[in-house]
Chain A
């Protein structure tokens, strides 16, 4: 008998081969979501309403216009961007971890013709969908709130691109989140990315004040490594077309830059997260 040949390490980094079966995993998650839809909608709706009330209508009354627009008009697009981030990030950290680790749902699925890569891709697509759902809900809240403000909160027909921006922005955040999930030894681990990654982005990505208020170094960091900065830029462009300059770059330069940044980072983390999860799940 010939000497058994040693296989190459399964940890080899590859471009994942995906088929339509990823959508079956997506369907599984959407079926669960639809069963508890009212409970799922409530927090996504309540949070932006509270922010609009507290920061927009409340605090905003004491704040002079930001470059000619009322404060509430400034933060409204950012709330939509934050909804994309939170919706997808929590889905693909806590949500995916529970399914993988506690429920062993991934183990059950990979015994069928669905592959590990497709399971993870399905989770990522679902995270992107959660971002789209959340962002769309916040958009509706913002639209309705605009009836009660001095100027409407939505002023551009480009707002129709919000579902598209939120899906791909959500895919980016899901993919980054999934890398943390691949590394998480236990569920408490997610406190680190929540507090060290999400919370700083929540405040420091041109969300509640223009980035130009920060030192140039901080602006550079926010623009180079914090994804929310770019999602905020794209969302602002879609909702109000009033993107604030950063680092002396004009809105005409920032919008394409943010678009390219999001596309590249999404592709990178999409592939990386699937590889990391595959390594975790098959060894």
Chain B
């Protein structure tokens, strides 16, 4: 059972860079032991929000409390409770894999023996033991991401901030990261995760905040969001104007979206409604699939490409 004490609380949180509003008066709460996903297109303000949580960026206005402490004047305490796995590679290229962890542990005042014990345990879990003595520059992207994750756990954080933890990882490494996130959830670690991968959000997050243009536009558990916005099933079929008209008549309340030479039909009706329709109308090239978070995401944030 997840206890309900609030570990992260934002009220009217705003960040401006000159005239650009990256985060625009957002409010949210994260409870202890929860895994909350920030989902949004590039430039939506996910990373900026995360960076304010560990005092990397000062707020422009609003309030942000982490573990009951304001980020405006309790940075040191907050940072000792938080583990950060940033999006970019900021491993120290002047050191080997193991030394990266040991030097980082020193910044937290972790005694040397304890640091070595924790570092070795992390390297073992993330399957980097053999790379202990290797310089950072020779690691693959996947190894670097794993090492960044391992580094974020050295101070045994209560709160873990994972900014796109699996970008660039192969499926094996991605599942390793997911396993670790699930394990940490069981340990009551509170996790904030930003991602572009809907699968990842669906697999790991208790709750999802969809952000776009600096605002939170929707919030809920993955299942709730799917049900609310795209129903249970999606029918995909080749685009045909006549068919679209027929579909609209046969399935009142259906929402049709054209995607190039295909169209997707969403409905709030329960399972089976499309099968019934297909029994009466013989169609080529047709798929019925479960609605997913990606459908929600695209519906809410649109299909236009985003630049960083």
Contacts and interface: CB of A to CB of B under 8 A. Distances in A.
B14 to A, nearest CB: 7
B91 A108 contact: yes
Contacts of B60: 6-7
B278 interface: no
Contact of A108 (B11, B12, B62, B90): B90
Contacts of A10: 58
A4 B80 CA distance: 27
B8 to A, nearest CB: 16
A73 B210 CA distance: 73
B56 A110 contact: yes
A283 B199 CA distance: 33
Interface stretch (A20-28, A191-199, A227-235): A20-28
A252 B287 CA distance: 94
Interface string A94-114: 000000000111011111111
Looking at chain A's contact residues, is the secondary structure mostly helix, strand, loop, or mixed? Answer: loop
A213 interface: no
A104 B107 contact: no
A27 B17 CA distance: 34
A103 B25 contact: no
B91 A4 contact: no
B76 A31 contact: no
Given A4-B61, A105-B90, A111-B84, A21 B11 contact: no
Interface residues of B, number: 39
B106 interface: yes
A1 interface: yes
Interface in B1-54: 11-12, 14, 17, 25, 54
Which has the most chain B C-beta neighbours within 10 Å: A107, A110, A111, A282? A111
A6 B12 CA distance: 11
B17 A4 contact: no
Interface string A13-39: 000000001001001100110010000
Contacts of B94: 32, 35, 103, 105
Contacts of A28: 92, 103, 106
A21 B59 CA distance: 24
Given A4-B62, A6-B61, A7-B60, A283 B17 contact: yes
Given A7-B72, A108-B104, A111-B86, A103 B93 contact: yes
Interface string A26-54: 01100110010000000000000000000
Contacts of B86: 107-108, 111
A115 interface: yes
A24 B107 CA distance: 6
B144 interface: no
Contact of A7 (B61, B80, B88, B92): B61
Q: Which of A3, A7, A112 is the most central at the interface, judged by chain B CB atoms within 10 Å of its CB? A: A112
Interface of B: 11-12, 14, 17, 25, 54-63, 72, 75-76, 79-80, 82, 84, 86, 88-95, 99, 103-104, 106-109, 155
Interface of A: 1, 3-7, 10, 21, 24, 27-28, 31-32, 35, 103-105, 107-115, 282-283
15 contacts: A5-B61, A6-B61, A10-B58, A21-B107, A24-B106, A24-B107, A35-B94, A104-B89, A105-B90, A107-B86, A108-B91, A112-B80, A112-B108, A113-B108, A282-B57
Q: Which 10 A-B pairs have the closest CB atoms?
A: A4-B12, A104-B90, A112-B107, A108-B90, A111-B84, A4-B62, A32-B94, A10-B58, A4-B61, A113-B80
